[in-house]
Homo-oligomer: A and B are copies of this chain.
């Protein structure tokens, strides 16, 4: 399968790309608005993964071209860029493709981080509202610390919650998540409950900021 990381030069895109490159033989496609940056990041990730014995192929392209080459497209961009990013790649999406939204809307004040979903209710819902009708949207990978993903020697041993209304898209996304060593996908319901899951990101950051020994924090349900 080919997985595109739109905004794949950013921290969460890099982390997911590195883990999939290390642990699977899926072709990883890095997308960026700047194709040269995408190519450089792809070469960098492939080199890093190869040091862990991986033969995975990582390529880099402008976002729309990256989406065109992939079956599963991860929207690894800030929440306020989700709508514009989907519109920019919409012509590259085909029926059968899957869009995956890992972003969470947060605001910070003097008390800490708070959940601030967009008016659609959640970032995942916003993505679903903007996506072409034939392309299902799944929410996943919200509650992963980018630094921990990128630290390939660090066992993950965490869960990622998955929400979506299209059963096959959910199954495919969960299978891709499960192929990352130490990452367990946990289904949490339809897109209608995505806001609560995105809000967990604020909790994780607040805990990390309150506990020096709990940086790059993840969560496991048990």
Task: With a 10 A CB-CB cut-off, give which of A217, A218, A219 has the most chain B CB atoms.
Answer: A219
- Whether B222 contacts A192 by the Cβ 8 Å rule is no
1/0 contact trace for A206-222 toward B, CB 8 Å? Answer: 11011100100111111
Chain A, interface size: which category? 35 or more
Indicate how many identical chains form the complex.
2
- Whether B187 contacts A211 by the Cβ 8 Å rule is yes
Which residues of the other chain, B, contact A207 by a CB distance below 8 angstroms?
161, 186-189, 221
Interface residues of A in 187-213 (CB under 8 A from B): 187-190, 192-193, 195-197, 199-200, 202-204, 206-207, 209-211
Chain A positions within 8 Å of B, measured between CB atoms, are 109-115, 157-158, 161, 186-190, 192-193, 195-197, 199-200, 202-204, 206-207, 209-211, 214, 217-222
18 additional A-B pairs beyond A189-B210, A207-B221, beta carbons within 8 Å, are: A109-B192, A112-B189, A112-B190, A112-B193, A113-B196, A115-B195, A161-B203, A186-B207, A188-B203, A188-B206, A188-B210, A189-B207, A193-B202, A199-B199, A217-B221, A218-B221, A219-B219, A219-B220
